[in-house]
Amino acid sequence: MQQSLGRRCAAGPASARGKTFTAIAPFRACGSRRPVKVYAAPEAPEGEAAGPSFLQRLGRVIKEKAAGDFDRFFAGTSKTRERLGLVDEMIAMWKLEDYEESLEELEEVLISADFGPKTALKIVDRIRDGVKTGKVKSGDDIRVALKAAIVELLTARGRSSELKLQGRPAAVLIVGVNGAGKTTTVGKIAYKFGKEGAKVFLIPGDTFRAAANEQLAEWSRRAGAEIGTFREGARPQAVIAQNLDALRQRSGKDAADTFDLVLVDTAGRLHTAYKLMEELALCRAAVSNALPGQPDETLLVLDGTTGLNMLNQAKEFNEAVRLSGLILTKLDGTARGGAVVSVVDQLGLPVKFIGVGETAEDLQPFDAESFAEALFPRSPAAVAAK
């Protein structure tokens, strides 16, 4: 309740870029028991209907602009594809009269390629339906049906791969296990949005080690973003709160100090470490307390090479901080993309971005069709026949 009230207060309807935030909404209006001030929505320019905000539009632009770097994406599903090579063999030997046997084999192959038993069964059931209704007859029909089933699972709860940013500033909390690629992803997102003209602020929420701050500071230089104050060994929730408080005071005084986007980096933690997960929930609360309705996005960074363990990670992180989406990194390596289908299917969380390298440019919006295509590329013969 408090959150939705807060969101209404914090969200800005108009094209906010460059506009002065004239009023500070009183805290009571937002239903908060804490005396926090909230960024008020700017007035919509006269004659202009309240459309999507600057950041909302930006999320879309970034999605549209990204040129699909197909080669790297293809390389990125290599581990899964290696195993899915068996699908090609199965398709080559496909006989409609023995379809039950073939579908059982297909299910096993999908499980071995990290799709997980539940999701593998769902996919195979869809193909079975296709066989029964006469839509799937040949081996090639299976390939088409497989891709369609995967795209369907990946998009069942909408194709919301763009970031949903509504507040000003909009806050994005980045979480994940150790070494998943969180800090790198924070840097890449800052770079992407900065390039489009957004004013980005980074919060060094990994207080565990000084090197984490140095790494983020380096990204802030590359991305042209400002970085907040770091305190090694301090409680991360306190550092987040302190930084947001300082931001609020600055923007209250000077509109030029108002940021569009705040990205909060956090320390890596094992999803099974209860105390650390509790700490993460407090980090999220620190963001909501300072900016009611925020974070607009809480994103789990998953190392694409992890395999099905990512499902357990996603479940635990979701429980602790209510995730809004996933970012899949290291798809340029020996990634095991099959598992992500399972995570999306079972948790209903969209994949927002994929990481395909270590540089600032190596972040792409997720596209379900390209992903399915990467998992089951058409055979060279089929491509030539087209």
Ligand X SMILES: Nc1nc2c(ncn2[C@@H]2O[C@H](COP(=O)(O)OP(=O)(O)OP(=O)(O)O)[C@@H](O)[C@H]2O)c(=O)[nH]1
Q: Which residue lies nearer to ligand X by CB, 119 or 313?
A: 313
Q: Does position 356 bind ligand X by CB under 6 A?
A: yes
Residue 355 interacts, among Mg ion, ligand X, none and using kind-specific CB cut-offs from 5 to 8 Å, with ligand X
Among 169, 268, 293, 325, binds ligand X (CB under 6 A): 268
For residue 137, the number of C-alpha atoms closer than 13 Å in the C-beta half-sphere is 2
Measuring CA to CA, how many Å separate 103 from each of 2, 87, 90, 146, 239?
50, 10, 9, 11, 54
Residue 246 Cβ vs Mg ion, minimum distance, rounded to whole Å:
22
Residue 194 Cβ vs ligand X, minimum distance, rounded to whole Å:
18
Residue 358 Cβ vs ligand X, minimum distance, rounded to whole Å:
4
Among 63, 143, 330, 336, binds ligand X (CB under 6 A): 330
Site string for ligand X, 333-352 (x = CB under 6 A): x-------------------
Footprint on residues 208-247 left by ligand X (CB under 6 A): 212
Coil, strand or helix at 167: strand
Report the distance separating Cα 346 and Cα 121, nearest Å: 13
Residue 75 φ/ψ region, left for φ over 0, alpha for ψ in the -120 to 50 degree band, beta for the rest: alpha
Q: Does position 69 bind ligand X by CB under 6 A?
A: no
The answer to whether residues 295 and 321 touch, using CB atoms and an 8 Å cutoff, is no
Handedness of CA 210, 354, 156, 115 (dihedral sign): negative
The answer to whether residues 345 and 153 touch, using CB atoms and an 8 Å cutoff, is yes
Coil, strand or helix at 157: coil
Residue 273 Cβ vs ligand X, minimum distance, rounded to whole Å:
13
Q: Does position 181 bind ligand X by CB under 6 A?
A: yes
Q: Which residue lies nearer to ligand X by CB, 318 or 329?
A: 329
Helix (DSSP H) and strand (DSSP E) numbers for the chain: 15, 10
The answer to whether residues 168 and 53 touch, using CB atoms and an 8 Å cutoff, is yes
Q: Does position 213 bind Mg ion by CB under 5 A?
A: no
Q: Does position 178 bind ligand X by CB under 6 A?
A: yes
Q: Which residue lies nearer to ligand X by CB, 18 or 179?
A: 179
Coil, strand or helix at 17: coil
Q: Where are the beta strands (DSSP E) in 7-114?
A: 24-25, 38-39
Q: Which residue lies nearer to Mg ion by CB, 30 or 287?
A: 287
Q: Does position 175 bind ligand X by CB under 6 A?
A: no
Q: Which residue lies nearer to ligand X by CB, 211 or 256?
A: 211
Residue 330 interacts, among ligand X, Mg ion, none and using kind-specific CB cut-offs from 5 to 8 Å, with ligand X
Q: Does position 180 bind ligand X by CB under 6 A?
A: yes
The answer to whether residues 94 and 203 touch, using CB atoms and an 8 Å cutoff, is no
Footprint on residues 151-190 left by Mg ion (CB under 5 A): 182-183
Q: Which residue has the tokens 């069709």?
A: 369
Q: Does position 77 bind ligand X by CB under 6 A?
A: no
Residue 325 Cβ vs ligand X, minimum distance, rounded to whole Å:
16
Report the distance separating Cα 263 and Cα 227, nearest Å: 10
Residue 296 Cβ vs ligand X, minimum distance, rounded to whole Å:
21
Q: Which residues bind Mg ion (CB under 5 A)?
A: 182-183
Q: Which residues bind ligand X (CB under 6 A)?
A: 176, 178-184, 206, 212, 267-268, 329-330, 332-333, 355-358, 362
